[in-house]
Amino acid sequence: MHVITTPERLNEILGVAVREHLTATVGPVSLEEAFLRVVGKSIDAET
């Protein structure tokens, strides 16, 4: 699962991950991830 959030909500999300015994990785959003979120398909996907 990918979660895109603001820095202000990061502690809340990491807290949920810890409570649910999940692994979480934090990093900047890539252009591809942002595009997928908005458009719903890969930049490389055929139309």
- What predicted TM-score, i.e. pTM, was given to this entire model? 0.55
| Residue 32, domain extent | 7-39
Other C-beta atoms closer than 10 Å to the C-beta of 46 total 5
Q: Is residue 47 part of a domain?
A: no
How many domains are there within the chain? 1
Q: Is residue 11 part of a domain?
A: yes
Asked if 39 and 32 touch (Cβ cutoff 8 Å), the reply is no
Q: Is residue 35 part of a domain?
A: yes
Q: Is residue 17 part of a domain?
A: yes
The conformational region for residue 40 under phi > 0 = left, psi -120 to 50 = alpha, else beta, is left
Picking from 26, 25, 43, the residue whose alpha carbon sits closest to that of residue 34 is 43
Q: Is residue 45 part of a domain?
A: no
Q: Is residue 22 part of a domain?
A: yes
Q: Is residue 46 part of a domain?
A: no
Task: Note the pLDDT tens digit of each residue in 5-45.
Answer: 888 999 999 999 999 999 988 888 888 888 887 888 776 76
